[in-house]
Amino acid sequence: MSNEPDNNKPPAFMPELNANNKAVAETQKSEAPEDKAEEHTEVSTETAPPVIDERPSEKPSKLDKLRLWWEESPDWYQPVLFGGAALFFILWVISIFWSIEPDLLDVQQLAQDRAGEKQQLIDGKPVVGYTTTITLMEVANTLMDKSGGYLSNDVLPPSVVMDNMPAWEFGVLQQVRLFTKYLRYEISRGQTSSEEQRDLQAAEPLFNIDNTAWMVPAAEGKYKDGVEALERYLDKLADPNEQNAQFYSRADNLREWLKPVARSLGSLSQRLAASVGQTRVNTDLAGDSAAQSSTGQNKLIRARTSWFLIDDVFYEARGTSWALINLLRAIEVDFKDVLEKKNALRSVQQIIRELEFTQRTLWSPMILNGADFGFFANHSLVMSSYVARANAGLIELRDLLARG
């Protein structure tokens, strides 16, 4: 064996060094993965592409938009909105209540009660003309005393936006004006040279105030003055000692009043029928070969009531018919002897019956304007048929009264 030193062996101090190196190496191994992991994380964070959601985005619904608008609205907005809605509902209910048409009058009981209260009965019944005059007064009073009062000249809601009841009032007012005029000029005067009755002379122009006048003068104020003038005439009429107030129940007086009444119904019938549009032959100059007009006229006339006026014409016809029913019922009492002599009493009763059909309850919330033979109803054409039949009855009644 050789005694030479082995150079491959480490020196005696090396074991301690090797141990330290192993510890350092193990520490580096344990830390290295964390460092790499951190380094890898940093790199991946910097270089990773963004994630894109390819699903279609959902648009907010109208309900969501409304809810968002409601939540973002100012604090004062919601109370104002609720208050406005409540006010609108209240006005709407009031307008419905004010649109209720009054009932027909019991003219005979009305006259009997007032004459008995005023001690104006003669042989247990009112004098001739009493029933007709008090009916005229009550028809005029109804314009002011009905639900909502007189609405045609109102300038505040809800009546300022209502048109059906003002149209009804205008129809009634036209007949009040017409009968007051003929009461002044015809029925209360025996001859054309007779002196006018002073109270009727005062009453007639008071009813001709513009129906929409609301101040200086107010229409209803003047109409009330007209009713008071009629009441003064009525009291004088029932006074046996008063000779200047008379009511002449004669066939010619009644016939004179029926002529403009028939014309007003004829006009209403044409306007109602024109709701669907009509082409008519011009007959204005028919019956007289020498007749002329101021300006040239077409042979064919296209007539059509405006869509915005259909309901107004309908309610004007209802108001006109309501007033005429009451007045004709009174005429039936005060002109009874004349009508029986002319065998025309049943004609008056039939006219009243035709007009009563116009007062039937309207169940539709609005005036329908369907075609004449269309799927929907046409209320104007139905009303026109009743008014036209009443008009025809008035023309026949005038012929009966003209006979000897």
Between 277 and 48, whose confidence is greater? 277
Q: Give pLDDT, residue 62.
A: 79
Band of pLDDT at residue 44, cut at 50, 70 and 90 = very low
Band of pLDDT at residue 69, cut at 50, 70 and 90 = confident
Q: Is the bond preceding 126 in cis, omega lying within 30 degrees of 0?
A: no
Cβ–Cβ contacts within 10 Å for residue 325, how many? 23
Average pLDDT along the chain = 85
Whether the model pTM is above 0.85: no
Query: Which burial class, exposed, middle or buried, applies to 356 when counting CB atoms under 10 A from its CB (0-12, 13-18, 19+)?
Result: middle
Residues 233, 120: contact at Cβ < 8 Å? no
CB crowding 230-255: b at 16 or more within 10 Å, else e? bbbbbebbbeeeeeebbbbbebebbb
Report the distance separating Cα 350 and Cα 386, nearest Å.
12
Least confident range from 203-207, 246-250, 294-298, 327-331: namely: 294-298
Report the distance separating Cα 228 and Cα 173, nearest Å.
16
Nearest to 231 by CA among 328, 146, 130: 130
Beta bridge partners of 218: 214
Interaxial angle between packed helices 310-334 and 107-117, expressed in degrees from 0 to 180 and rounded to the nearest 10: 60
Q: Give pLDDT, residue 75.
A: 78
3-state secondary structure of 369: strand
Average pLDDT over residues 230-236: 96
Residue 210 has pLDDT above 70, yes or no: yes
Residue 254 has pLDDT above 80, yes or no: yes
Residue 38 has pLDDT above 50, yes or no: no
Between 49 and 5, whose confidence is greater? 49
Q: How far is CA 311 from the centre of its chain?
A: 7
Report the distance separating Cα 318 and Cα 101, nearest Å.
9
Average pLDDT over residues 102-130: 93
Band of pLDDT at residue 17, cut at 50, 70 and 90 = very low
Q: How far is CA 323 from the centre of its chain?
A: 19
Report the distance separating Cα 334 and Cα 313, nearest Å.
31
Residues 339, 397: contact at Cβ < 8 Å? no
Q: Give pLDDT, residue 262.
A: 96
Nearest to 320 by CA among 358, 354, 284: 358
Average pLDDT over residues 384-403: 95
Q: Give pLDDT, residue 243.
A: 85
Q: Give pLDDT, residue 48.
A: 55
DSSP class per residue in 72-108: HS-TTHHHHHHHHHHHHHHHHHHHHHHTPPPPPP-HH
Rounded to whole angstroms, what are the CA distances from 273 to 87, 98, 172? 38, 28, 21
Q: Give pLDDT, residue 207.
A: 97
List Cβ neighbours of 185 (8 Å cut-off, separation of 6 or more): 196
Render pLDDT for 173-199 as a digit per residue (tens, 0 to 9): 999 999 999 999 999 998 877 889 999
Q: Give pLDDT, residue 26.
A: 56
Band of pLDDT at residue 49, cut at 50, 70 and 90 = low
Average pLDDT over residues 334-355: 95
Average pLDDT over residues 139-156: 93
Report the distance separating Cα 338 and Cα 129, nearest Å.
13
Between 275 and 302, whose confidence is greater? 275
